[in-house]
Chains A and B, each alone.
Chain A
Amino acid sequence: MSDIVPWGADPIRPAEPRPLRLTVDGETVEGLQGQSIAGVLLAQGRTAWRSTTAGRPRGVFCGIGVCFDCVATVNGESDVRLCLRRAADGDAVETQDDHDSAEGARP
């Protein structure tokens, strides 16, 4: 399970981080200022937030904006790579379910 190095125990001696809050599918999630949205989710142990057309779960794979596995809707904009987007206080993240939308699109 993914998590974050607790700041008090990190050998690089970080300053105390400042918190922020965002919502994921309406649920409040606590993060730290300066984290990417993917970082906020991974720090909570959440490793998947998208499902593919075939219904498979996906989260971060490449971590540097190349693979697009980690995309989600942020403040109404779809297909935002969460590994590249810094979290801002109050961001509303909605996970993308390509499986559902493919089903729904069928006549």
Chain B
Amino acid sequence: MTRVLVIGAGPAGLAAAAAAADAGARVTLLDSGDGLGGQYWRHLPPQRPSRREARLHHGWKHFQHLQARVRDRVEVITEAQVWAIETAGGTTARVLIGPSDAAGRESRRLTADAVVLAPGAHDRTLPFPGWHLPGVYSAGAAQALAKGERIRVGRKVVVAGAGPFLLPVAQSLTGAGATVLGVYEAARLPAIARGWLPRPQRLLRTAHKGRELAGYAFHHLSRRVPYRLGRAVVEARGDGRVEEAVIARLDADWAPIPGTERTVAADAVCVSHGFTPRLELPIAAGCAIGPDRFVQVDADQRTSVPGVYAAGEITGIGGVDAALVEGRIAGHRAAGGDPAALAGDRRLRRATTDLARRIEAAHGIRPGWTSWLRDDTVVCRCEEVPYGRLRDTAAATGQSALRSVKLTTRAGLGICQARMCGRTVEELTGASTGDPCDTSDRRPLAAPIRLGDLAELATAPNGDSA
């Protein structure tokens, strides 16, 4: 019996696990969190049951159905942090199981004939003056806290950044009783039209997403949440925490237009400009990364490494429909399922890649944003490296390799291992080798791990208990 390991239990991983089980494989599904559903279906824990939790979600029934199928037929291991992956002679994942960041977690080595990587993505927030203040959140944080904990990050909240994801974030906030003062989208109308208007028949084919987006638009109209294009939060101000946000109009390149700044009183500011795929595991597995810095896959979701499949946001930011269909294809093929059974899913997948292109065309980051930075704007949050020092050091030493920029400025060397600032540092310093494997996405360990644990794992005779 084929053994399939699925890493990540968001929409893509759940769909992959279910499809692999349907195709007859013995499946193990891992997630670092203690529940299933990933960030998209982030939900309340079992200790806090709610009768109408479905109201916080899209496709909640589909999630519950997938979850039931998976729980029934798949070995599910939650709180499982994969910290290394090896692909010589089948796949071996090294996993720590237990509460996050706890010392002395159970160590296991899991082997499989094929693996489906579905780790997802996290928000990318461009730095701006004051973004380090408490009360400034990534948009994803505001949503995760609202859906997963019923926390509202503020009572008067500004949502800003770029992309359709800002709309469900605002909806989650108003659904938790916060007042959303406005959603400020950096893209201007011509870019939005360029991205979203051509070939509307294709957009309709991804019917779920179309309905979901229409739902948000209606929600905003009915709640009178202003949705403003061509605007950005260019500064957050406050004494020890956010008290106000400065909003400016942007030109087509996202450079703020002087004289258009407006200050609003707010106790939370939620900002995201897109997503960064979590590439640690695919890079560790040796998968080819494309020039767009997503994992390259073929029509079967196969990566360049035999036996390694990828699905969901690490192959392109395509939303939940793309993640689900990619997961189904990946799981089915990883299990050795008949490719002829996939005709319908392949058609659907082609339609969803169209959505990723639209999002990039309409909301992709434009270079003018750097003009809202000041010399003292923190770029690397961990090491608190300000923009002026980063720029001057990179210029003075004529650096081009990312590694030397990092070592000289310390940007990206802090505890988050450049997960927050890596791509921004590359852009601001021009430090890029052009080699997609030699970027800030590359990390020696796929997940943070205590040095004590690492030493123990390295010296233990078999390395593991399993």
Binding site for B on A (CB under 8 A): 1-5, 7, 9-15, 17-18, 32-36, 39, 42-43, 47-48, 52-54, 56-69, 71, 77, 79-81, 83-86
Contact = CB atoms under 8 A, between A and B. Distances in A.
B101 A64 contact: no
B133 to A, nearest CB: 8
Contacts of B134: 47-48, 57-59
Contacts of B101: 71, 77, 79-81, 84-85
A77 B177 CA distance: 35
Contact of A39 (B133, B145, B419): B145
A62 B52 CA distance: 27
Interface string B132-152: 111111101110110001111
Interface of B: 32-34, 39, 44-53, 55-56, 99-103, 122-123, 132-138, 140-142, 144-145, 149-155, 175-177, 240-241, 267-268, 381-382, 384, 414-416, 419-420, 448
The dominant DSSP class at the A interface is loop
Contacts of A7: 150
A1 B265 CA distance: 12
Contacts of B33: 84
Contact of B154 (A2, A77, A86): A2
B47 A33 contact: yes
B140 to A, nearest CB: 6
Contacts of B384: 52-54, 56
Contacts of A79: 101, 415
A5 B147 CA distance: 11
B122 A66 contact: yes
A35 B149 contact: yes
Contact of B150 (A10, A47, A56): A10
25 contacts: A2-B153, A3-B155, A5-B151, A12-B50, A12-B150, A13-B50, A14-B49, A14-B51, A15-B51, A32-B47, A36-B149, A54-B384, A57-B240, A58-B134, A60-B137, A60-B145, A61-B136, A61-B138, A62-B140, A62-B141, A67-B138, A69-B381, A77-B101, A81-B100, A86-B34
Contacts of B32: 65
B176 A5 contact: yes
A15 B268 CA distance: 28
Nearest to B278: A66
A67 B414 CA distance: 10
Contacts of B176: 5
A5 B155 contact: no
Nearest to A65: B100
A92 B41 CA distance: 30
Given A63-B138, A84-B101, A14 B48 contact: yes
Given A57-B241, A81-B100, 11 more contacts: A11-B175, A12-B55, A14-B49, A32-B47, A34-B45, A42-B145, A47-B135, A60-B141, A64-B144, A67-B416, A84-B100
A65 B34 CA distance: 13
Contact of A1 (B55, B154, B420): B154
The dominant DSSP class at the B interface is loop
Contacts, number: 156
A42 B153 contact: yes
A83 B138 CA distance: 13
Contacts of B49: 14-15
B141 A12 contact: no
A53 B385 CA distance: 11
Nearest to A36: B149
A63 B416 contact: no
A5 B56 CA distance: 13
The 4 closest A-B pairs by CB, nearest first: A63-B141, A34-B47, A34-B45, A48-B134
A14 B50 contact: yes
Nearest to A55: B384
A15 B49 CA distance: 6
A33 B415 CA distance: 29
From A7, A12, A17, A53, name the one whose CB has the most chain B CB atoms within 10 angstroms.
A12
Contacts of A57: 133-134, 240-241
A4 B177 CA distance: 10
Contacts of A86: 34, 45, 99
B157 to A, nearest CB: 10
A15 B50 CA distance: 6
B415 A12 contact: no
A87 to B, nearest CB: 10
From B32, B44, B123, B151, name the one whose CB has the most chain A CB atoms within 10 angstroms.
B151
A58 B268 CA distance: 14
A4 B149 CA distance: 8
Contacts of B48: 14-15, 17, 32-34
A62 to B, nearest CB: 5
Nearest to B38: A64
A39 to B, nearest CB: 4
Contact of A14 (B44, B267, B448): B44
Nearest to B150: A5
Nearest to A20: B47
A9 B177 CA distance: 10
B268 to A, nearest CB: 7
Nearest to A70: B141
Contacts of B52: 11-13
